[in-house]
Amino acid sequence: MGFWRSLRRVRPVVPRPRAERQPDPDPPRRAPVLARVTTERVSAAGEAIDVLAAAAFSTARGRARVAPLLDRFDREVGVLGPDDPDFELLQVTRMDWALCDVPATPDAAPGDTWAWRTLRGEVADHSFVPSPLRTAAARSIVGLFEIYPGEPTWARDRISGVVVRLLDAVGPFAPAEPDQPAGLWELRLVPDQAGGFYVARAPIDYPIELLDALEHEFPRRFEPTPWPGLQDLRRARLRYLRAGGRTPISRMLRWR
């Protein structure tokens, strides 16, 4: 046996191949919390904005005032069609933007909106009586908010960074981690004298995975021309929904 053992070829020692590291599985997609509603949201804050809009835009002269701003919205976001998802909500968004968010005319100073001109009595087409709530409506803010439900519900704007307390009940919400937002919603909010905000319009939901792209682009918010702005986000959402959600919204956001 020793003779045959001496003739046997010694098997070389080969290092054991290192096991290839399997790629980490993709994290599960966070399901968006749908904020669409089956009935129109009616609130005192929303009605106050409607009264301002009627005073500024309801007559023939008023329609001539708002037409250039609506054309600008269409250029920046896209022309809305009746078959678009959330068409009614987006039409309201478009009108609120022209009333409260942009200067009334090209030569107007920032903040000199048709809402404030109406409150100052510079619009003579319509009988209008100012009130504290209508003044608050002219101060409405709009943004893309992370929603943290609770008592009370808090919301953080991903564009400006402002954190606000909501005075209205919103939801329902899907389960979420304690430190994670339950939704990503575009909200128009009217301030209250107590320091909170009322939800003036029905929320418009965005895919929550958009938060990753917004975090990546955070430094660009401090450039001379900040990006992305809310109009960029609205345009991306419109394209995303028209594509049936097959293309990530972050790609739509970068597509000019």
Q: Parse the chain into domains and list their residue ranges.
A: 44-254
Q: pLDDT tens-digit profile of 16-56?
A: 445 455 544 444 343 433 444 334 567 899 999 999 999 99
Q: Which residues pair with 14 in a beta bridge?
A: none
Q: What is the mean pLDDT of residues 199-223?
A: 86
173 pLDDT tier (thresholds 50, 70, 90): low
Higher pLDDT, 216 or 22: 216
Mean pLDDT of 215-224: 76
Residues of the chain with pLDDT > 90, as a percent, come to 59
User: Which has the higher per-residue pLDDT, 170 or 137?
Assistant: 137
For the chain, the average pLDDT equals: 83
Q: What does the pLDDT read at residue 54?
A: 94
Per residue in 180-209, pLDDT (tens digit) is: 888 999 999 999 988 899 999 999 999 999
Higher-confidence residue: 86 or 225?
Answer: 86
In this prediction, residue 176 carries a pLDDT of: 65
pLDDT of 41 reads 61
Burial 6-43 (b: 16+ CB within 10 A, else e): eeeeeeeeeeeeeeeeeeeeeeeebebbebeeeeeeee
Q: Please name which of 226, 38, 35 lies closest in space to residue 147, comparing C-alpha atoms.
A: 35
* pLDDT tier for residue 8 given thresholds of 50, 70 and 90: very low
pLDDT of residue 144: 96
Question: Based on C-alpha coordinates, what's the Rg of the chain?
Answer: 27
Cβ pair 115, 48 in contact under 8 A = no
Residue 156 phi, psi dihedral angles, 5° rounding: -120, 125
